[in-house]
Amino acid sequence: MKEKRFYIMTLISILSIILVILSPGNSIRMDGQLSGHPYIWTLLISTFQTISWAILWLPTLILATFIYIPMIGIHIPSCKIWNIKISHYIIFTIITVFLAHIPPTLGLSSVMIGRTANALYFFYILLYFIGVQIIIEKNKERIADFLSFKYTHIICGSATFCFIFLGSLNLESPICTAYMDIISGKAQAYNQQWNNRNHMAQETNSGIVIFNSFDIVPKTIYINDLEDKANAQFCNAYAEYYQLDCQVQTTARHARFTTNFETLFTIGKAMR
Answer yes or no: are the C-beta atoms of 111 and 45 closer than 8 Å.
Answer: yes
Alpha helices by DSSP H, listed for 22-113, are 24-31, 39-71, 86-108
Q: What is the pLDDT of residue 55?
A: 81
The answer for residues whose C-beta is within 8 angstroms of residue 87's C-beta and 6 or more apart is none
Q: Which of 111, 105, 84 is nearest to 17 (CA)?
A: 105
Q: What is the pLDDT of residue 67?
A: 85
Q: What is the pLDDT of residue 98?
A: 75
Q: What is the pLDDT of residue 74?
A: 87
Q: What is the pLDDT of residue 133?
A: 92
Q: Give 10-residue mean pLDDT values along the chain (272 residues).
A: 75 77 64 61 80 80 86 84 86 79 70 70 84 89 81 80 74 82 88 90 87 83 81 88 89 79 82 74
Q: What is the pLDDT of residue 36?
A: 54
Q: What is the pLDDT of residue 108?
A: 66
- The CA distance from 238 to 248, in Å, is 8
Q: Which of 64, 82, 74 is nearest to 143 (CA)?
A: 74
Q: What is the pLDDT of residue 168?
A: 67
